[in-house]
Structure formats: structure tokens, C-alpha cells
Chains A and B, each alone.
Chain A
């Protein structure tokens, strides 16, 4: 083999090696784009599926225990046999507030179930933090409580909650119509709704709990606020069926100690 031929063979070999290195480099570069994208897509996809499964609501098919109207206008749900050591759950809710509707969807059925099974005493406190729409609906729910239909009315209101942004919210007409659905067809209920009879009661209650909550937590009051044995629950607990169940169970254990 001539010198020239040897050199060109060597050059060819080098050229081939260079190409190989270039191919390898491209492959790795591609890997560094494809691998992270694959990681992101897989993690996010799996995450969405898992969260959708975890975010199911609670329903209670059984019989809701009797509701009692308390002196301060709040409504207590307690089965017979509930004792002083049964955990007490206080629910401060605004029928116009989307987060309250969400709490109701997730744990509303559970609350009734807990009350029915004597595992908790549940007290509903209608408050108004948004505006006139909240006052109207809160007062109307109180009118329904006068006629012993609070729970039914409460469920219908959340089932028909108008959007928070824009719109008139619950009108007097809506509120009377929902009353009729709950069996409140009399003139008395209609007048109570139209005159917003419990405006002051709802506003006063809102004022009281705002002050109390602010003093207790140092944070602004918002709805839903739920107290378990006089301790406010974190929103992380409120909007998770499992966490809420655990919190109630813990409270039950503590009471029994």
C-alpha cells in the first residue's frame, strides 16, 4: 500500500469516527429533550387522573336526623343519643359562596351521616360575606328553618347556586321558588323572604364570627369556616373527604380519653 493510500485510509477512518461521534451527540441531545418531556407528560397525566379520582363528593342516602332551631338562629343537627362528649362541628356558610358549595359537595353528605350516626353534632350558621345576595339567601334559609325545612332548603340552594361573578345571584323570586320545592308554599315564608326578615341576625352573626376568627387565628374570616370542637379546621382538611374524616375521628378519640 502506498503512503498516500495509507494516509487516505487513516483519514477515512477519522472521518467515520467523527461522524459516529456526531451521531452519538445528536442522540444524546435528543434524549435530553425527549426524556424530560416524557417525565413531565407522564407525571402530569397520572396526577390529573389520580386527583380526579380523589375528588369525588360525598352523598348521604340515609335519613337526616332532626334539625333544631337554636335561640341564636343557628340550626343544630343531632341524632337522639348524642351526648356532651360527641364532637361538635360548627359550619359557617354563605349560600352564594362557591367554596361553600364545594365544601358541601365534598363533605356535606358526610356531615349528615356523622350526625345520623351520632358521631357528631352539626350546627349550621348562615353568614353573609359576599354581599346582598348572601344576605338574602342566608335570611331565606333562616325563614325555612322557622318552618322546620332548613336542611331541605339548604340543599336546594346549593344545588342551584348562581355564579358568583356577574348576575343577580339569588333573587327573591328564586328564593321563594326554591321554598316551594321544599314544600314552603305559604304566604308566611314568602313574606319572610321578601322582607329579608333575618338580615340583622345574619349580619350580626357574621360580625361575631369574623371577630372571633380573626382573634383566634390572626387571619381574615372567609367561608366556609368550620370549627371542630371550637377549633377552626384548615382549608386543606375542609376540602378533602379523607382529611376531614380523620380530623373528626381524632376529635372523637380525644373526647373518649
Chain B
């Protein structure tokens, strides 16, 4: 009987099984969401911590959407439901779907609708939408894409999101140019380099866009381990043979997937 109970306990607290119970197990550091990029997961201690706010910061063009899509793909493949709150209306279902994300499990919420509303009003809507989603419970991942917005959230708003995330066990992922949640973020990943790579498959052949070489630095980690850097690539055609170095053109990849 004791052995059965021990097995049951082990199963519940296994890192990759999110239990349906509320309480201390929801905020355990062992519950992580992986990106599927080994170098990054190793630096993060296994992935993003559940029930906490995580930030990916860096200028647009340095690969923060690609990194968020990697986490999103991993979450939906595991059978979780995710939400993407889109401040700038930049969600591209074609490329996100090509990344292996199950779009039927992603709730998209746009805040850049046709209604003529002020920027400040849109921010309020964005935050309210985030609170509503996280309050619902059952979402494994909530991505808040702030677009080019560069000034931080009010402490009260960040605190509300942090508390609700802790209660529901949702991974909150903020994509922004700068840090948004201050002390309430458990992890801040700074994309310090996103270098564009072009290749020419043969002499006189047309140039092809290969992708970005990205370096991510753990700028803040409440759970320990800040200052590390992980390097990885975001490629237009990740399935291209590295030896031949011939990627497919960008248009062909997105439509073939």
C-alpha cells in the first residue's frame, strides 16, 4: 500500500505532468515548460517556470516571436490550451502554424481592432484581457505580445497578473522591447543579438535568407542562474541539411508546411 501511495505521489509531482490540484504543487519549481531548444532549456534549468511571469525582451527582429512560438508549440503538442494576446495585431497564423503549433488550441485575442481608440485605452483593454484569460484557469501558456511598446506596466497591474498566474499555474510570457513587470517577473531573457544570415547556394545563384543567429542572455532569474547566455538559430527552413547549407526560399517553406 505504501509503495502504491509513493508511486502515486511520484506521478503527481513528475515535472511534465501538471496536476489538476491547486496549492503548493502549482508553484513548484520542478514544473517547467520547455522550448525544445537544448542550449536554452539547459540555461533555464529545464524551461519556463509555471505559475510565474517570464519576459523575453529585445528589439523587434531579434527573434522573440520565434522563441515564444517554440514554447507555444511545445505547450500545444502536450495537449495544453494557450492564449496569445496581441497588442499590435502581429500574429501570423501561417508561420506560427508552420512552427508546429496546434492552432486549434490557441485562443487569439487582438487589441488592434478597427475601433478608433486611444493607445492608453488599448493598453487597458490589453491588461483586462490578460486578467480575464488567466482568471479562467486551465490555460497552460499565455503569451502577451506588447509589440513595440517600451514603457513598463504599473506595479498594481503586474502584481495582479503575477498573483493570478500563481493561483492557476499558467506560464505568462511577456514579449516586449524592455522589461515590463519589474520585480514581479521571475525570469527575464534578453535577446542581445539577432544577426541575419543569408546564403548563396552556388556561384551566381540567387541569395537566400537563412534566418537569424540569436543569443539569449538570462538577465534576471529569481530561481537562480542569471547571467548565462545561450546561442541558437531561428531558421526559415529548420529542416534544411546543414551540410549542404541550402535552405528553401522563405515563401516556399511557409506554404509547404
Same complex for A and B? Answer: no
Binding site for A on B (CB under 8 A): none
